[in-house]
Structure 1
Amino acid sequence: MIGAILRRLLTMALTLLVISALVFLIIKLPPGDYLSNRIAELRAMGEAGSVAKAELLMRQYGLDRSVPEQYLMWLGLMPGPAGFSGLLQGDWGWSFEYDRPVAEVVGDALWLTLVVNLAALVFVHAVAIPAALYSATHRHSAGDALVTALGYVGLAVPGFLLALILLFYANRWFGLSIGGLYDAAYTGRPWDGDKLRSLLAHLVVPTLVIGLGGTAAMIRRMRANLLDELAKPYVVTARAKGMPPLRALLKYPFRMSLNPFVADIGNLLPHLVSGSVLVSLVLSLPTVGPLLLEALKSQDQFMAGFILMFVALLTLVGMLISDLVLVWLDPRIRMGKR
């Protein structure tokens, strides 16, 4: 097992290297970059002092060199200009849009993104699994019809539309502003108990909006898997031997129906990040989604590159976790063995 995990970690490192090359190439595909475009604008306006500063930044971060050299300096595999050491050295670069280091711009946004999406992940599983169990074991009942209808609604309603509806009616009926992840009074303040309680209170709506689509999809899939497992001979045999219904359900059919969902953890984590960009914009959430959108629009390459690499790392870590849980969940699966 240890050897298999070490081999997997090595594969993850090589995969990240390939992804980094693709990310950098795609970012550099549009003509120009943030600084060259900015220099052209400043020269047109006759601001010589600002042009000199922009040209200094270009030399400082190696943007006046060839694309392969820029890529190697960005990773930290090639010595760059003084003051820039690359990703592998912990230097995430400079955000030209915000005129600050990338680490400062995305500092709180990174862990707030993880908090929001982990809360949505817990919500998805906490709601979908009991609902799917009830729906599969009470087929064609009124409860099954209600769960099915809610599933279709969750799949059909876009997250940003649900966010707009909640924003409007929360303000109209209760006079509440549910945007953001904490009250405006806590902006810029260090974290303490009051700010944490404000975060937990504001976390309810984003968790509901972001997790609803995934919950609906999981209910439909898990219900179908459970119905398939419940019809198999081993379940009939267990019931014929007098095994209690709940134990007969949870011991085998439930575990076997979980396999596809555990395998999807690696895809679900980055999907929650990328799929919540519009929701984050509507709800004014200080996560990396809006930052990525702005960075891609303005060609802020260090900001966009770091966030895309963060999502790639999240995907690979999620896939590793899903594989380890599958080994624990299903005794038929053994890593490193045929």
Structure 2
Amino acid sequence: MLHYIIRRLLIFIPFLALISIVSFTIIQLPPGDYVDTYVQNLQQQGGTVNAQERAAIEKQYGLDEPFPVQYGVWMGHVLRGDFGNSFLYDRPVADILAERVPRTMAIALAAILLTWLIAIPIGILSARRQYSVWDHAFTFLSFLGLAIPGFLLALVLMYVVYDKTGWLVTGINSPEYRSAPWSVGKAVDMLKNLWLPLVVLAVTSAAGVSRVLRASLLDELKKQYVTTARAKGLPEGKLILRYPVRVALNPLISTIGWMLPAVVGGEVVVSKVLNLPTTGPVLLDAILSQDMYLTGALVMMLSALTVAGTLLSDILLAVLDPRIRYE
């Protein structure tokens, strides 16, 4: 196992280098660049930019250089750990990431934990009580959760909360606490607002996870080793949790590789609706404005999360299932 982990870590660096080339190339593919977006926005506000001013702006941002030179400059910043300067926010990209990524990771990990706390008991109960009233009820709720978009659920819950309590649940903190120093009141206010995005992210994810676990557990319950364990008199609850559930969790563990980046960067619309200070809205704005340094840094971060999550899922699979070995 140790050799496998070392080998995967050694592959990690050239893999990220290849991703940086591909992502930087894709960012450059759309016609125009950040200066075109900047000039267009300025003209919509009634301003004008002549050719000399445009050339000066392109030189300021290094956009007058050919593609290999731009990539080399960006990689120089990446190797120094600062990722360059964001065109859109006129701030170092590293400062934006340091501000947004910890909040995003905290919300993402809490949402994943809540998803599993909801989905695993539902999946086990549905499999053990197949075609019962509980199974049909959870099946209906799961299909409903899969059918309802996350942003729509967020809008409905926001309306219900505001209508019943008068709370305007948007953002991590209420307006009066956003610039205030940390205190007990600010922490309570954060918890009052944070439950809504966690519920939205967990409910929309738990619907699919519970169906996967149900199908996997039903397949395991029909196998010979479960029948043999029952014949030996092993208590049903202990039997289910020790053997088939442990194996049925494999599909859930194997999805960690894509679940982390999906929750961190995929819920852009939900983050926009709830006004969450996460990386999703920043990535969307950076793409729309063609801010190549900020977009490249966020794509690299999501790629690193995917690789790290895949490695973590492989290790956990080997720990949970003794049949899996990587020698």
The interval holding the TM-score normalised by the smaller chain is: over 0.9
How far does residue 19 in structure 1 lie from its aligned partner after superposition? 0.9
Does the CA contact (< 8 Å) of 2:173 and 2:189 recur in 1? yes
* 1:98 aligned residue (89, 112, 131): 89
TM-score by length of 1: 0.90
| SS of corresponding position for 1:260 | helix
2:85 and 2:92 in contact (8 A); partners too: yes
Amino acid of the residue matched to residue 114 of structure 2? F
- Aligned 1:138-153 pairs, distance under 5 A: 138-153=129-144
Match of 1:329 among 315, 320, 324: 320
Cα RMSD, aligned residues only: 2.2
Cα deviation, residue 60, structure 1: 5.3
> Which stretches in structure 1 are left out of the alignment for 5+ residues?
77-85
Does the residue aligned with 1:94 lie in a helix, a strand or coil? coil
Residue 9 (structure 1) shift: 0.8
Quick check: 1:35–1:96 contact (8 Å CA) kept in 2?
no
Name stretches of at least 5 consecutive residues in structure 2 with no aligned partner: none
Q: What residue in structure 1 maps to residue 79 of structure 2?
A: 88
Give 1:169's aligned residue.
Answer: 160
Kindly state the Cα deviation for residue 36 of structure 1 after the two structures are TM-superposed.
Answer: 5.0
Separation in structure 2 between the aligned mates of residue 132 and residue 206 of structure 1, nearest angstrom: 23
Q: 1:142 to 1:275 in 2, by over 3 A?
A: same
TM-score norm. by structure 2 comes to: 0.92
Q: Which amino acid aligns with 2:17?
A: L
Equivalent AA in structure 2 for residue 16 of structure 1: L
Q: Per the alignment, do residues 39 and 224 of structure 1 end up closer, same or farther by CA in structure 2, a change over 3 Å counting?
A: closer
Percentage of identical aligned residues: 43
Which residue does 1:313 correspond to in 2? 304
Aligned residue number for residue 224 of structure 2: 233
Which of 272, 280, 290 is the aligned partner of 2:263? 272
Other structure's SS at 2:99 match: helix
In the alignment, residue 154 of structure 2 is paired with which amino acid? A
Determine which of 173, 177, 195 is the counterpart of 2:186: 195
Q: 1:120 is matched by which residue type in structure 2?
A: A
Q: How does 1:281-296 map to 2 (within 5 A)?
A: 281-296=272-287
Greater RCO structure (CA 8 Å; 6+ sep):
2
| Amino acid in the other structure paired with 2:247 | M
How far has the Cα of 1:126 moved from its partner?
Answer: 0.8
Deviation of 1:39 after TM superposition, in Å, equals 5.5
SS at match of 1:91: coil
Query: Any idea what the Cα deviations from partners look like across 1:51-90, whole Å, max 9, x if unmatched?
Result: 76x76664455322110111122111xxxxxxxxx11111
What amino acid sits opposite 2:32 in the alignment?
Answer: G
**Any idea what the Cα deviations from partners look like across 1:71-118, whole Å, max 9, x if unmatched?**
122111xxxxxxxxx111111211222222222333321111111111
What whole-Å deviation, never above 9, does each CA across 1:22-46 have from its counterpart, x for those lacking one?
A: 1100111122211355358769945
- For structure 1, which segment, 193-202 or 151-160, has the greater mean C-alpha deviation from structure 2 after superposition? 193-202
Paired residues of 2:271 and 2:281 also in contact (CA < 8 A): yes
Query: Pick from 118, 134, 145: which aligns with 1:127?
Result: 118
State how far apart, in whole Å, the 2-side matches of 1:40 and 1:159 are.
Answer: 33
Letter of the aligned partner of 1:6 in structure 2? Answer: I
Contact 1:39 1:55 in 2 (8 A): no
